[in-house]
Homo-oligomer: A and B are copies of this chain.
Amino acid sequence: FVAGRYLGEIRDGWDIRGNANGGYLIAIAARAMAAASGRANPVTITAHYLAPGRPGPVTIDTEIVKSGKSFVTVTGSMRSNDKPMLQLLGSFTDIKPAGDVLLANGAPPDLPPVEECIGHAHRAETDWPPAFHGRVDLRLHPDDTAMEPEGPRSGKALVRGWFRLHDGERLDAIALLQASDAFPPTIFNANLPVAWVPTLELTVQVRSDPAPGWLRCVFTTRFVTDGLLEEDAELWDSTGRLVALSRQLALIPRVDS
């Protein structure tokens, strides 16, 4: 094991009702892990979410598990005031993706143009959208917009939309981690009595860093059973290339708890 400690900071404005967005947190930790590995791009990274993130300094302790020719495997432990917040495991690489497509049973989601999709960042005077939407630029498919607590529901556990950073900053492979948890929960579009769905675990598999421009994203949930749900995402770049698949496991808080 080679160990290293990195210092980070959860900044103001990345929260949803006070708690920092989970995609923002995994991206902070992944940057430390990438630095420790000496490789720029996550190939697959998993985070377990242990406590909510609040603005302020964090530490990320990293350990190199194996440094191979193609991949470097690293653990990460993000803490705030010595309290565990995220525990991570990831493999990183510098291999340049070749762009080969041997099988593609799927395509980018069919979205109306960006300007016909629904943004929320302009409504900062109200509680909705959350502060987080001042940082990321989401444009939701007009059929999938039920992110407001009292908004209409499509009835389908499906969310499609465009993603970029609000300042137009170029996305790299680690920014894909952020995108994979940036959208409103799929479940908010289904007619279920669920007000919040804390993430237990998020795994993102990165195929390639994205080309410049907007990402097209689709999130689906098929099974809400035994108090748990999965949320699967596909992220596609502006050239129509699949750049990441992600899956998270979230908890349905019990009504009696």
In the complex, chain B residues whose CB is within 8 Å of the CB of A228: 43, 205, 207
Contact of A223 among B88, B106, B249 (CB under 8 A): B106
Interface residues of A in 93-117 (CB under 8 A from B): 95, 97-106
User: What are the residues of chain B within 8 A of A73 when measuring CB–CB?
Assistant: 48, 50, 84, 87
Whether A224 is near chain B, meaning CB under 8 Å from some CB there, is yes
Residues of B within 8 Å of A225, CB to CB, are 100-104, 207-208, 241-242
CB pair A226 B208 closer than 8 Å: yes
**A249–B205 CB distance below 8 A:** yes
**In A71-100, which residues have CB < 8 Å from any B CB?**
71, 73, 75, 77, 84, 87-89, 91, 95, 97-100
What are some 26 contacts across the A-B interface (CB < 8 A)? A43-B201, A43-B249, A44-B48, A44-B201, A46-B89, A46-B203, A48-B73, A50-B73, A65-B84, A65-B87, A73-B87, A75-B75, A75-B89, A97-B227, A100-B225, A102-B194, A102-B252, A103-B223, A104-B222, A105-B157, A106-B222, A201-B203, A203-B203, A203-B247, A205-B230, A205-B247
Which B residue's beta carbon lies closest to that of A251?
B70
- Determine which residue in A101, A105, A224 has the highest number of CB atoms from chain B within 10 A of its CB, and name it: A105
Q: Within the assembled complex, what's the spacing in Å between the Cα atoms of A200 and B249? A: 20
6 A-B pairs with the lowest CB-CB distances in the bound complex, closest first: A103-B224, A97-B226, A102-B224, A46-B46, A105-B222, A44-B201
Q: Please, how many residues of chain A have a CB less than 8 angstroms from a CB on the other chain? A: 56
A65 touches B50 (CB 8 A): yes
Residue of B whose beta carbon sits closest to that of A51: B66
Q: Is A190 an interface residue (CB 8 A)?
A: yes
Whether a CB of chain B sits under 8 angstroms from the CB of A10 is no
